[in-house]
Structure 1
């Protein structure tokens, strides 16, 4: 299996862990992911982008400063801009954050519409994220053309 197919396989496996949606940013550089994969509703992504919520999102703030797994409920006290409330209105009610890597960082933001994400689900996601992080480590040195092939990998069919 070539590298693109392996990455696509891991993304699809990540998508099938649960009936959740997610935003995955691999190899964050200067606050921007080298690769990103989204299954969040387009309406939420548009709203989040328009309101520039990345600058006040407690999940992003946590991911920048920590490694591991965090439940949105555990950081909701720091949500002065009500990002989690807005997310809930778009069906992203229960969420978890995964942050991994030391200097070369990757973040995953997972949300479920109707129930808390289980420990087993988030551990599977963490394992798959680590595999994706490792598989795409060379992305930092790729040409824009090579990156484009990785960016076009579909998460959902």
Structure 2
């Protein structure tokens, strides 16, 4: 199974287990995730963003302080801005947050239901799925010299034919390098691959 197919399979599992939605922030570095997925109701997402809750969210504070899984009803972190009450008012009545990975590349994910608490078995399955997503999306430690050369040509604005000529290879060989770097960085487009390479500090 390709990394993209594996990611999609994991997300289908999360969709099945979380009827009201979820937010998964993978490999949070410099206060931003390298990749994220979100299925919460649009009204809640807009309310959350407009109130600047990300910097005050007790689930995120808990996720940075430890690893594991915790039901929102058991969070040992203060919620002075009543964010969890606001979430419940928007249908996110029962929740779960998981945290995984080193603090330098932490994955934090939250999940919601409107009918009941998550069971222990569901928490185990969700936690396993989040750990798999974290592993699948681990940024590569490096790119090959050929992959870096191809991306640098794109960054400099070269078209495929010009880049191939500059590198002394055929245009099809150049395109093959771009395909390989997109696969390595799990990017849908070359532009996305270039952006991720910069974010991962691989160029």
CA contact (8 A) 1:34 1:139 kept: no
Partner of 1:151: none
Secondary structure of 1:34's counterpart equals strand
Q: Which runs of 5+ in 2 are unaligned?
A: 143-184, 196-203
More helix by share: 2
Change (3 A) 1:77 1:105: closer
Q: Distance in 1 between matches of 2:140 and 2:18?
A: 27
Ranges of 4+ aligned residues in structure 1 off by more than 6 Å: none
More strand by share: 1
Give RMSD over aligned pairs.
2.2
Partner of 2:112: 111
Q: Distance in 1 between matches of 2:117 and 2:78?
A: 20
Change (3 A) 1:133 1:140: farther
Q: Distance in 1 between matches of 2:91 and 2:17?
A: 18
Across the two proteins, how many residue pairs are aligned to each other? 149
1:28-43 maps to which residues of 2 (within 5 A)?
28-43=28-43
- Whose Rg is larger? 2
Q: Distance in 1 between matches of 2:46 and 2:140?
A: 26
Change (3 A) 1:76 1:82: farther
Q: Which runs of 5+ in 1 are unaligned?
A: 149-157
Change (3 A) 1:139 1:50: farther
Secondary structure of 2:5's counterpart equals helix
TM-score, reference length from structure 2: 0.67
TM-score, reference length from structure 1: 0.86
Q: Which has the higher contact order (CA 8 A, sep 6+)?
A: 1
CA contact (8 A) 2:18 2:112 kept: no
Deviations 1:31-64, CA, capped at 9 Å, x for gaps: 1111110110011011100100111111111001
